[in-house]
Amino acid sequence: MTQATLTQASAKPRSASGAIYVVHRVAILLAFAAIFYPGFNPGRITTAINRNVSLFTASISYNSLVSELQRPLARGWVQSSTFVLVMVSSIVLILGIVLCGIGGCMSVGNNRMQRKGLLFSFGGSVVMGGGLIGIYIAYSQIVAAANDRVPANFSGGYWLYAVLTAAICVTSLVLMATDRKKAETLEPKMEMHERYKIFLLFLPILAVSFVFSYLPLWGWRYAFFDYKAGGELTMENFVGFKWFTYLFESEATRSDIFRVIKNTLGLSAIGIATSWLPMAFAMFLTQVPSKRFRRVVQTFTTVPNFLGWVIIYAVALAIFSTDGFVNNFLNNILGIAADTNYLMDSSHMWLKMWLWGTWKGLGWSAIIYISSISGIDPVLYEAAEVDGAGRFQKMWNVTVPQLLPTFFVMLLMSIANVLSNGMEQYLVFSNAVNKQAIEVLDLYVYNLGIVNGQIPMSTMVGMCKSIISVALLFIANTASKKLRGESIV
């Protein structure tokens, strides 16, 4: 019985109204998404409005809206009432979109719910229209003011919203008109199929994920433009792969990028070459007879992993700087005069960085192996003992093979992450002396883009890094499947 209703519901006959519903929902979804995107802000009635203000920002923060209009407002070139109107209209527009959103959600319910939902959508589109009219009035005020410094701008977002509003309005009207079902034939209650109900509950989570993980990909286009902070992306400053070739043609950037790649790969290589250390740590620690001793060691060696790199740097200062522990110890305990600042030294930087990383992370990385060891069947050890194996033979012939699968996964992951050393460690430890030796790719991108403001170039570098990393992960995963019949992601 239930099964029958389910199939009936999922195999709803595809009709013309079904297609219109799809258009209706897509229009609502687009209207919703564009709220957060500054490029589609219909309220950017003058190019003097900050180009990073989205419809959403405009509706919640008047200060952001007029952030670049202080002078025109103070001089009276434009009236603040115009921008208050823009803000109020933005709020009205968003309110309309929310109403449409409710209608859109209800459109996946049963017939009775759909009918109610269409009312919401229609009402919402009317409210949206009101918001758009408000923005148009503000726009005509700017046109009337006719001031060169506050040039009027009929934004692309306005067209987008005008089209979407019309689409929502028309589709909801058409659907209402074609709905010939009599009220008596409708279901007694508003209901929605479970599959859509759960999906709608999940939708906000997908939306947040989309905005913060997928939307940034759209920012890759900056890599192909000659963009300066605050400027525009137009076809005139489209430069194609100029930044990519520039990276290797210009003498200065070429030596920079090769140095940075060398650092990145060098540090990663040291990490990979010593990735057996946590396993050895775990194997030898489990050989200690006293459980309490093992517990204490584990607690104290894992704590540093949970402290940020700034704190590690504070520790480094306290121990190795001119007035730090090492010099104090030499001066006060051993009586040797010393005042070296060990942090202002550029020798063996990769090794030192590796040591700090190991000091911080070794105990923690070992935990996974310690747990694996505790899961090994004691029968295996007993059998080895019967065969006359000693301590080291048991470790080598029983424990190691049991830990290898875990080790293999860890190794593949670190190979896939060969370009991502993270930036915090190298940022906090870098100073004038050692900067050259520890600038890794992540830090280079940060320095180039955020500190020096070279957006296109740093985006290009970051983009290449992301693409190569994904490719590496894919290769590592394929290798894992081939060798062990199991994927790692």
Partner 1 sequence: MAKKQGSSGMKYRQTAGNMVFNVINITIFTLFTIICFFPFYYLFINTISDNALVGANMITLIPKGIHFDNYVALRGVQDFGNSVMVTVSRTILGTTLMVLCSAFAGYLTTKRQMWNRSFWYRALVITMYFNAGTIPWYLNMLGLGLTDNYLGYIIPGIVAPYNIILVKTYIESIPASLEESATIDGASVLQVFTKIILPLSKPILATIAIFGAVGNWNSLQDSLILMSNSPGLYTMQHRLWVYLNSSSNLQAAMTMGTAAATVNNKVIKYTISMVTIIPIMLVYPFMQRYFEEGIMLGAVKG
Range in contact with partner 1 (rule: CB under 8 A) among 77-85, 179-187, 239-247, 359-367 = 359-367
Question: Residues 51 to 90: which contact partner 1 by CB under 8 A?
Answer: 52-54, 56-57, 60-61, 64
Contact call for residue 214 and partner 1 (CB under 8 A): yes
Contact call for residue 9 and partner 1 (CB under 8 A): no
Q: How far is the CB of 383 from partner 1 (least distance, A)?
A: 13
Residue found under tokens 């306005």: 158
The two three-digit tokens of residue 358, written as one number: 């190991």
Measured between alpha carbons, how far is 419 from 432 in angstroms, rounded to an integer?
Answer: 24
Range in contact with partner 1 (rule: CB under 8 A) among 127-135, 169-177, 263-271, 313-321 = 313-321
Contact call for residue 446 and partner 1 (CB under 8 A): yes
Residue found under tokens 């033979």: 393
Contact call for residue 342 and partner 1 (CB under 8 A): no
**For residue 357, which of 430, 432, 424, 257 has the smallest C-alpha distance?**
424
Contact call for residue 459 and partner 1 (CB under 8 A): yes
One of 273, 310, 351, 483 touching partner 1 (CB under 8 A): 310
Contact call for residue 463 and partner 1 (CB under 8 A): yes
Bridge partners for 152 per DSSP: 46
Give the residue with the Cβ less far from partner 1, 166 or 415. Answer: 415
Give the residue with the Cβ less far from partner 1, 126 or 380. Answer: 380
One of 146, 307, 336, 344 touching partner 1 (CB under 8 A): 307
Give the residue with the Cβ less far from partner 1, 169 or 353. Answer: 353
Per-residue DSSP letter, 77:
S
Range in contact with partner 1 (rule: CB under 8 A) among 113-121, 132-140, 202-210, 269-277 = 202-210
Range in contact with partner 1 (rule: CB under 8 A) among 94-102, 154-162, 249-257, 452-460 = 452-460
Bridge partners for 225 per DSSP: 238
Asked if residues 343 and 316 have their Cβ atoms less than 8 Å apart, the reply is yes
Contact call for residue 15 and partner 1 (CB under 8 A): no
Could you tell me which residues come within 8 angstroms of residue 487 by beta carbon, excluding any fewer than 6 positions away?
477, 480, 481
Contact call for residue 388 and partner 1 (CB under 8 A): no
Contact call for residue 475 and partner 1 (CB under 8 A): no
By CB under 8 A, how many residues form the interface with partner 1?
116
Amino acid at 364: W
One of 100, 150, 363, 440 touching partner 1 (CB under 8 A): 363
Residue found under tokens 């396993």: 279
Q: How far is the CB of 166 from partner 1 (least distance, A)?
A: 26
Range in contact with partner 1 (rule: CB under 8 A) among 91-99, 166-174, 259-267, 296-304 = 296-304
Q: How far is the CB of 340 from partner 1 (least distance, A)?
A: 13
Separation in Å, CA 108 to CA 117, 190, 201: 9, 11, 13
Gyration radius of the chain over CA positions: 32
Q: Could you write out the DSSP letters of every residue in 126-180?
A: HHHHHHHHHHHHHHHHHHHH--TTS-B---HHHHHHHHHHHHHHHHHHHHHHH--
Contact call for residue 407 and partner 1 (CB under 8 A): no
Per-residue DSSP letter, 447:
I
Q: Return the exposure string of 46-78: e unless at least 16 CB atoms fall within 10 Å of the residue's CB, then b.
A: bebbbbebbbbbbbeeeeebbebbeebeeeebb
Contact call for residue 370 and partner 1 (CB under 8 A): yes
Contact call for residue 391 and partner 1 (CB under 8 A): yes
Measured between alpha carbons, how far is 58 from 90 in angstroms, rounded to an integer?
Answer: 7
Separation in Å, CA 31 to CA 40, 126, 189, 318, 358: 10, 14, 30, 55, 50
Contact call for residue 404 and partner 1 (CB under 8 A): no
Site string for partner 1, 28-47 (x = CB under 8 A): --------xxxx--------
Per-residue DSSP letter, 185:
G
One of 287, 340, 346, 436 touching partner 1 (CB under 8 A): 287
Q: How far is the CB of 354 from partner 1 (least distance, A)?
A: 15
Asked if residues 477 and 488 have their Cβ atoms less than 8 Å apart, the reply is yes
Separation in Å, CA 394 to CA 281, 372, 386: 16, 16, 11
